[in-house]
Chain A
Amino acid sequence: MNALVALCLVLPALAATAVVLTRDPERQAVTLSVFGMLLCLLLLVLQAPDVALSELGIGTAIVPLMVMLTIRTIDKDRRTRKSGEGTDKDGDS
């Protein structure tokens, strides 16, 4: 195991810890994307370009986008519920 492989093993581990430590889910989508990119780098260094390509597409683009859209949808729903409670007291929204 050379220094490059060791570095590429450490970086995703650090990024993964950063994802766990990010409290705000919306920012977590961004750190998740960074983690995916570093994992992609590790796979590339380990000579697995096919897997690296999959990871790049799914891990850094599609999944963070889905997470982001989900969080925004939930936020929108919460806001609607909150304003619903504010305007009509017996509202069932």
Chain B
Amino acid sequence: MSRRTRLLVFLVGGGVLAAAFVVGVLGIPGFGGSEHRYRDLAVPAAVAHRTANAVAAVNFDQRAIDTFGEETILIASTLGAVALLRPSREETVRRPPDLGHTLESTRLIGYVLMPLTLVLGTDVVAHGGITPGGGFQGGVVLATGLHLLYVTGSYPALDRLRPLLPFRTAEALGAAAFGVVGALALIGTGTFLGNALPYGSLGQIFSTGTVQVLNLVVGIEVFGSMVVLLAAFFEQEISVRKQDEEAR
């Protein structure tokens, strides 16, 4: 495609997008205000399914298929990044040196906060259906907590604590489980990712039906994804050396 054609295609696409954007922005309700059409539909639907966290009801019940798409995007992009970052033929992986120089206070904060963050992450995943948070947020918190070990300066410890195979497996199984739950719901209710499990009373941890199950599998997948993704970056930065550099 020549430069001229590319520019033409861009101008047509960009023009249509800009026009649609302007029309869309002119049509949105004002900032703040008390009229929320989406809320008026979503919140009663959430309460009907005993899901106290209306956002979780939207994500894992009313529009669970969107979340399924997003989880697939996450796993695909992690896969792509890891494939790009794998050591190439002229690079070798060697045992990383202990990084040493870390302030004592930084180490202390890292060691104290790591278990706390892991507990917090588990809590955020487990209570996704009833309090703010959920599988995605909790998974990210868990992965961040694990990497506090890097802040303490002990990369070898981090390396030992996170054997990658279980995390890779968790990532794949979490993503697959989402589809399996959806398919089981299809058999049970006739709707893919429909809320198939019985509801409890509003505000209880197991009150939300499949929302809780999906939260859990998403939490597992995101935790695995983030750890695998960051591990690829860490490996490039810390362990991988060019072979000719090794010889020098």
Interface residues of A, Cβ cutoff 8 Å to B: 1, 5, 49-50, 52-54, 57-58, 61-62, 65-66, 69-70, 72-73, 76-77, 80, 83-84, 87, 91, 93
Contacts and interface: CB of A to CB of B under 8 A. Distances in A.
Nearest to A50: B55
Dominant secondary structure at the A interface: helix
Contacts of B248: 83, 87
A5 B33 CA distance: 14
A91 B242 CA distance: 14
A50 B133 contact: yes
A62 B144 contact: yes
B5 to A, nearest CB: 32
A65 B230 contact: yes
Interface in B90-135: 124, 132-134
Contacts of A1: 31-32
B140 A73 contact: no
B226 A62 contact: yes
A80 B144 contact: no
Contacts of A53: 124, 132-133, 137, 141
B237 A69 contact: yes
A54 B242 contact: no
Given A57-B137, A61-B144, A72 B237 contact: yes
Given A80-B242, A80-B245, A57 B144 contact: yes
Interface in B217-231: 226, 229-230
